[in-house]
Structure 1
């Protein structure tokens, strides 16, 4: 009898989950596990919790949805609090498990966890499954990944990316080991502000996979994708962008499922600049993942991929920025929305990041850590890549990007409605 442990990480779904399907196919008994690390609430080097309550609340919705989906298939999800390597090694020993199966996450801490399990003699089968393109299908080796996005995109488009269709969910899961553990976690109580553009305390935006799939079906069945490029720089409301990123971040939705729905939409309604841009942004997500695999810990150091000196940092200015009290109305409105809802438009993310780095002359890593704590759609690879771009410490040849907040406000919030919404005017 083969007993496997399936370790859910940022893949909180059953649809298009090749790693989970492999675990189901290769084991006669399977224990699905999600580990809540105490590091989530540990203080960062910048003096605040690594995960804020809104991010934890949205993740907990995804975990609850996954648990119910597994119960519906004759299984369950064991949610355990503890350091992941200790928890999983303890379970493997207690159950005499043959293997731990999980997804691959191309970031230093997550890769180190898998290495630590293997160093303890535990067999770990990890799968690359978070992006659009399988590693084996890339037209180049990871070491030869282009340092600029456009050549990467052209190479993949020439290769016909991606050709793999998403997997359907399994109808049933292998039986649980007998006996198996059960656990209970108290709910996070802070709710998002009702002004949120992603109101995840409503059924339509719940963190569960079921809500993600309903949203994908709804978004691509209409015409919103056709005008995506024209509306994507909006600031408020549910319809100005795809709103896929929170579910992609937890893995309640796979990038391939989203891309397949996009292609189905184009087959029905035609492809245009709007639909094409959705594909480009999904491909940016892949690029940041592959860049993290190529460069590893360099992306987390102060110089990034550059040779620039250590950035300056002013804790008082950073505190005012994070509280939305800089005195710059457009920036303050964005930071207040982020703290109250766990969400922020892409346009505002660039503006507030630029202001911290270039106007307040603070360390970009503090801003990246604040986004990690606050954003319900935090994605480690995309977050590092975007902050390095703003700070001029990534691979982009423009050596940084400053956004003038007054100019941006005049263009994107000409009547001041967004700033008034967040009491910044």
Structure 2
């Protein structure tokens, strides 16, 4: 039996926007609803990504997400509301939840990746009105000097058009003045619906990485959630690191060689517009430089991978990508050796050991190991993308797909892929062997994350 419709009861479904501030979709839901149920759905992380037989979300990602949701819960409680965390498929959960509270409208952010699009389509097919808001880019697509389907296929052209037109992002929005009241049924729902088990991290994994991780997410300053994200922005721009970024961004190890915004951006605990606003405040106080410009440059790359999804959609997920190349080869044994840091190539194995032990890897090494998997081990780029999805605490569907296509030469890159010379990378970035020594260990001692 369905509940009698509440007085304008709506559902807000958190996806990759785990924050209260600068959340246009949440603000719109607050504007429309008298009662608002705030929900996060945990999918089945144990289901492997086929046909690669790797988990969808391994321990490091799960722990960072758990911390992000705990922080979001505190934010919502400070606004007089509460988060309902449920275990299961949102396509099944949300229609039943809507019936239980008498709601017909679900609000959420727009995500232009195939699985996320299919979820919204299925919810609409179930009879729900799903109101989506595009909000994960720095720039508003409507402000660009071209329509999404006319997005240039070369990033440099995109960047030049944006800068020539002097397109700037909107300022971050404050948190809603007030969150609508919870539905009267909330307490009963929280008691009877399938909530996820409390996440318990393996302390041995933390100890194994202690003192070596470039993003020590188990420390308060690097924890998941909007509170730590805001603290990191203040800390980073409270130094002169932004004026050295272009020189240090290809570093392999340490907390200061890059901005380290990506884990919070990926889950939405920090918005790109919040990061940009902090950057502009820094430049106003300390002057602009080539390095501070490069942070804007990287935020534009992040936008570009998102806009590619608006243009090409599911084509970005085909084996051939956007090309007419044949299906890539694959060797399951070589792929497994790559995952397990057992290829025999010291730099690659050190990087893969770090990834498994910490859930993080420098941008330079991500490119190196991806190139090695594709061009030296002759494995399917999609298998590597799936492994990164499982392991990286800053996994982002847009950037992950875009970067793997870029290395594989199956995206929009005019140079048909990137093959990195391992010896040159060693010479340029680890000449003294410090990184390889840091993560050198017998294969059997590399802990499974």
> Which category of TM-score, normalised to the shorter sequence, fits these structures?
over 0.9
> Which range moves more in the overlay, 364-373 or 167-176?
167-176
Match of 1:185 among 197, 201, 209: 197
- Residues 213-264 of structure 1, C-alpha deviations (whole Å, 9 max, x = no match): 1101111121100110000011111100000000000000000000111111
> Which range moves more in the overlay, 162-171 or 280-289?
162-171
Match runs of 1:181-260 below 5 Å = 181-182=189-190, 183=195, 185-190=197-202, 191-192=205-206, 193-194=209-210, 195-260=212-277
2:375 matches 1:369: no
Aligned to 1:403: 420
Query: How many pairs does the alignment contain?
Result: 424
Aligned to 2:120: 114
- Residues 41-94 of structure 1, C-alpha deviations (whole Å, 9 max, x = no match): 201211121111111111111011101110111100000001111111111111
Distance 2:301 2:78 in 1: 35
2:299 matches 1:282: yes
Assess if the C-alpha contact under 8 Å between 2:101 and 2:185 holds in 1: no
Aligned to 1:43: 48
- 1:154 positional shift: 1.1
Assess if the C-alpha contact under 8 Å between 2:68 and 2:224 holds in 1: yes
Distance 1:388 1:125 in 2: 31
Match runs of 1:247-396 below 5 Å = 247-396=264-413
Assess if the C-alpha contact under 8 Å between 1:4 and 1:27 holds in 2: yes
Instruction: Identify if the C-alpha distance between structure 1 residues 184 and 310 changes in structure 2 by more than 3 Å, giving closer, same or farther.
Output: closer
Distance 1:135 1:396 in 2: 21
- Residues 294-343 of structure 1, C-alpha deviations (whole Å, 9 max, x = no match): 11111111100111101111111111111111111000000000000000
Assess if the C-alpha contact under 8 Å between 1:325 and 1:332 holds in 2: yes
Match of 2:16 among 10, 13, 28: 10
Match runs of 1:47-196 below 5 Å = 47-180=53-186, 181-182=189-190, 183=195, 185-190=197-202, 191-192=205-206, 193-194=209-210, 195-196=212-213
> Which range moves more in the overlay, 92-101 or 369-378?
92-101
Aligned to 2:445: none
- 1:172 positional shift: 3.0
- Indicate the SS of the match to 1:41: coil
Distance 1:186 1:286 in 2: 34
Distance 2:281 2:343 in 1: 45
Assess if the C-alpha contact under 8 Å between 2:169 and 2:273 holds in 1: no
Distance 2:121 2:307 in 1: 19
- 1:171 positional shift: 4.2
Gaps of 5+ in 1: none
- 1:184 positional shift: 5.4
- 1:424 positional shift: 5.6
- Indicate the SS of the match to 1:351: helix
Assess if the C-alpha contact under 8 Å between 1:200 and 1:207 holds in 2: yes
- Indicate the SS of the match to 1:330: helix
- Indicate the SS of the match to 1:58: helix
- 1:96 positional shift: 1.1
Aligned to 1:20: 26
Distance 1:158 1:31 in 2: 43
Aligned to 2:4: none
